[in-house]
Amino acid sequence: MFNKDNKLEKFKDAETIIGASIKVKGNFNGQGDIVIEGMLEGSLKTEANVFIGEKAKVNANIEASEAMISGEISGNIKIKKYLAIGKTAKIGGDVQCGEISIERGASITGQILVATDEVKKNDNKKIRPEEEA
């Protein structure tokens, strides 16, 4: 999915594509792949994959199955499976994922938790209080 040679080809079929000249405000929920090349403020959640382009500026929490991040993100990132962080990425927030790769040059200010089981446990903890209530 994230091979350098075929990454753009893979994302041609993305359900939603936000271009560089667009600013999005609000809660972005989807079922399919999402590509962000512009600005996003709010939250971003999908059951599929997310691609954040080099020039993208995202001020939002992100939840997805897999993600490739090359842009600037201010918010927490929660990825169920694989997270690839490119050399141009600047992340200000905590990162949770199942697997990770970080290219030299990327900047992350926050905690990184890489463990599929841990992510699941944390999910369960969050659910319990609501169930009791």
Partner 1 sequence: MNAYIYDDFLNKSRYRRALNKVEIRLTDLGLNGKIIRLGAIKNVKEVIQTEIKNGIKNIIAVGNNETANKVISAMITNKTYGFFQKDILFSIIPIGDNNSIAASFGIKKEDDACNILLARRIKKIDIALAGNNIFLNKAELVSDNAQIKIGEDYVLELTKKTKVKIVNLNDDADLVYKERIDPCDNLLNLVINNRGIDNTFITSSDIRVSGEGQLILDESVSVPLPTDVGIISEKINIIVGKDRSFN
Interface with partner 1, residue 15, by CB under 8 A: yes
**Residue 63 to residue 110: CA distance in whole angstroms:** 16
Interface with partner 1, residue 19, by CB under 8 A: yes
Of the pair 19, 110, the CB lying nearest partner 1 is at: 19
Yes or no: say if 107 and 94 are a contact pair by the CB < 8 Å rule.
no
Q: Show the CA angle centred on residue 14, arms to residues 115 and 82, nearest 5°.
A: 10
**Residue 82 to residue 99: CA distance in whole angstroms:** 5
Interface with partner 1, residue 72, by CB under 8 A: no
Interface with partner 1, residue 26, by CB under 8 A: yes
User: Interface residues for partner 1 in 28-67 (CB under 8 A)?
Assistant: 28-29, 37-39, 42
Of the pair 38, 75, the CB lying nearest partner 1 is at: 38
Yes or no: say if 24 and 18 are a contact pair by the CB < 8 Å rule.
yes
40: left (phi over 0), alpha (psi -120 to 50) or beta: beta
**Residue count at the site for partner 1 (CB under 8 A)?**
20
List of residues 6+ apart from 59 with CB closer than 8 A = 39, 40, 41, 42, 73, 74, 75
Interface with partner 1, residue 8, by CB under 8 A: no
Interface with partner 1, residue 75, by CB under 8 A: no
Report, in Å, the least distance between residue 45 CB and partner 1.
10
Interface with partner 1, residue 127, by CB under 8 A: no
Contact residues for partner 1 (CB under 8 A)? 14-29, 37-39, 42
